């Protein structure tokens, strides 16, 4: 088949037109997603602005909307996140290292791998029900910071495992072979080379997991934390020997999303402003954590020289 020059030009122009059209549609899709977030954030900010005072962060919840604050909520969120990170990261990283570096390639491993990926998609409320039966009643941990932290750790464990495995896979096989060639054991190879090189990816995975956990409401409500709390957990540092106390782990608590939920179900309009302000704080917390992940990834990657 032969085309004249003119025909070829119109054909190219037509294809280029489609190219532009797709580019435009793609951009619109992107804008739609971002604009929704921006509008939502803007609306929350406008609504909650007047409540975002220093006192808002240092006051306990109250029945008077203008005196109510998020002190117990943000302290609770930080404490729960601490427990979550302390549990999910060692467990998740160890599981991923085993799966990636140690586990034999057979059908058992294949099943476990598929299940880990599937677990990441299990609705969070299911984890809440599991935790209610297991942690709260079976282990007798009650509605404590420890229960909530462990629940959220379970929830983000698949995320941490998947991210860690991706990071481990990005380390070239030649590094492993070089370590073996020098007589390193598998553990020496993992701890001395693969883990340090993949730490950027692992940290990113951990923080993405934690930023999912920080906004979770359903599993925490399920374990029974929808509660008015106007006090702080016991301090982790004490004046008497041994100066460190773990009492706070067993304390009742509330977290940011639950405080918001509580305020939105109030009859008085003024509480809606508090909920909006708490929403802004929660969003900023999440965005800050994501920002931290990007920053860490950038700086740790710079250090690696193959």
Partner 1 sequence: MFKKAILAACLTLSMAAAAQANTLVKIDGSSTVYPLTEAVAEDFQKMKKGAIKVTVGISGTGGGFKKFCRGETDISDASRPIVKKEMEACAAAGIKYIELPIAYDALTVVLHPQNKFASTMTVAELKAIWEPTAQGKIMKWNQVNPAWPDMPIKLFGAGADSGTFDYFTEAIVGKSKSSRGDFTASEDDNVLVQGVTRDKGALGFFGYSYYAENTKKLKAVAIAEKAGKPGVLPSFDTVKNGTYQPLSRPVFLYVNAKSVDKPEVKEFMEYYLANAGKLAKAVKMVGLPDKAYKQAVANFKAKKTGTGFGGVPEVGVSVEDLLQREGKH
Q: Least distance to partner 1 from the beta carbon of 221, Å?
A: 9
DSSP codes joined into one string, 12-56: HHHHHHHHHHHHHHHHHHHHHHHHHHHHHHHHHHHHHGGG-SHHH
Look up tokens 């900023």; give the residue.
284
Could you tell me which residues come within 8 angstroms of residue 226 by beta carbon, excluding any fewer than 6 positions away? 258, 261, 262
Query: Among 18, 107, 246, 306, which residue interacts with partner 1 (rule: CB under 8 A)?
Result: 246
x/- map, 43-72, partner 1, by CB under 8 A: -----------------x-xx---------
Binding segment (CB under 8 A) for partner 1, from list 47-55, 151-159, 172-180, 219-227: 219-227
Q: Which is nearer to partner 1, 60 or 98 (CB)?
A: 60
Q: Which is nearer to partner 1, 127 or 253 (CB)?
A: 253
295 interacts with partner 1 by CB under 8 A = no
Q: Which is nearer to partner 1, 7 or 55 (CB)?
A: 55
Q: Which is nearer to partner 1, 124 or 144 (CB)?
A: 144
245 interacts with partner 1 by CB under 8 A = yes
Query: Among 1, 267, 305, 306, which residue interacts with partner 1 (rule: CB under 8 A)?
Result: 267
Binding segment (CB under 8 A) for partner 1, from list 90-98, 149-157, 196-204, 228-236: 228-236
Binding segment (CB under 8 A) for partner 1, from list 5-13, 49-57, 96-104, 246-254: 246-254
Looking only at residues 84 through 143 of this chain, which bind partner 1 when binding is defined by CB under 8 A?
A: 142
From the CB of residue 119, how many other CB atoms can be counted at a distance below 10 Å? 17
231 interacts with partner 1 by CB under 8 A = yes
Largest interatomic CA distance in the chain: 93
Q: Least distance to partner 1 from the beta carbon of 67, Å?
A: 9
Query: Among 102, 228, 295, 298, which residue interacts with partner 1 (rule: CB under 8 A)?
Result: 228
Q: Least distance to partner 1 from the beta carbon of 139, Å?
A: 11
237 interacts with partner 1 by CB under 8 A = no
Q: Is residue 8 helix, strand or coil?
A: helix
From the CB of residue 58, how many other CB atoms can be counted at a distance below 10 Å? 11
| Closest by Cα among 135, 176, 175 to 154 | 135
Q: Which is nearer to partner 1, 273 or 300 (CB)?
A: 273
Looking only at residues 247 through 266 of this chain, which bind partner 1 when binding is defined by CB under 8 A?
A: 247, 249-252, 262, 264-266
> Quick check: bond before 273 cis, omega within 30?
no
Could you tell me which residues come within 8 angstroms of residue 55 by beta carbon, excluding any fewer than 6 positions away? 69
Joined tokens for residue 42: 């803007």
Q: Least distance to partner 1 from the beta carbon of 252, Å?
A: 5
Count of residues in contact with partner 1, rule CB under 8 A: 28
DSSP codes joined into one string, 81-142: HHHHHHHHHHHHHHHHHIIIIIS-SSHHHHHHHHHHHHHTTS-HHHHHHHHIIIIIIIS---
Joined tokens for residue 34: 């971002």
Q: Is residue 250 helix, strand or coil?
A: helix
Query: Binding residues for partner 1, per CB under 8 A?
Result: 60, 62-63, 142, 224, 226-231, 234, 242, 244-247, 249-252, 262, 264-269
């Amino acid at each position: 088949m032969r085309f004249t020059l003119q025909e070829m030009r119109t054909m190219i122009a037509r294809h280029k037109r489609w190219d532009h059209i797709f580019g435009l549609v793609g951009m619109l899709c992107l804008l739609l997603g971002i604009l929704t977030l921006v509008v939502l954030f803007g609306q929350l900010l406008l609504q909650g602005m007047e409540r975002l005072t220093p006192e808002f962060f240092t006051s306990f919840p109250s029945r008077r909307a203008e005196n109510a604050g998020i002190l117990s909520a943000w302290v609770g969120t930080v404490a729960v996140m601490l427990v979550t990170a302390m549990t999910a990261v060692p467990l998740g990283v160890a599981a991923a290292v085993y799966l990636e570096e140690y586990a034999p390639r057979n059908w058992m491993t294949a099943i476990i791998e598929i299940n880990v990926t599937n677990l990441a998609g299990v609705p969070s409320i299911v984890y809440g029900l599991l935790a209610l039966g297991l942690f709260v009643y079976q282990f007798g941990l009650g509605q404590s910071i420890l229960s909530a932290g462990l629940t959220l750790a379970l929830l983000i464990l698949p995320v941490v495992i998947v991210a860690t495995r991706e990071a481990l896979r990005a380390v070239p096989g030649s590094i492993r072979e070089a370590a073996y060639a020098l007589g390193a054991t598998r553990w020496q190879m993992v701890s001395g080379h693969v883990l340090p090189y993949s730490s950027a990816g692992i940290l990113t995975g951990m923080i993405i997991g934690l930023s999912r956990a920080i906004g979770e409401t359903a599993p925490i409500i399920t374990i029974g934390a929808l509660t008015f709390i106007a006090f702080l957990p016991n301090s982790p540092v004490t004046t008497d020997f041994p100066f460190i106390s773990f009492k706070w782990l067993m304390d009742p608590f509330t977290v940011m999303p639950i405080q918001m939920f509580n305020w939105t179900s109030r009859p008085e309009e003024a509480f809606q402003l508090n909920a909006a302000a708490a929403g802004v704080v929660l969003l900023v917390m999440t965005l800050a954590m994501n920002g931290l992940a990007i920053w860490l990834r950038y700086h740790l990657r710079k250090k690696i020289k193959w």
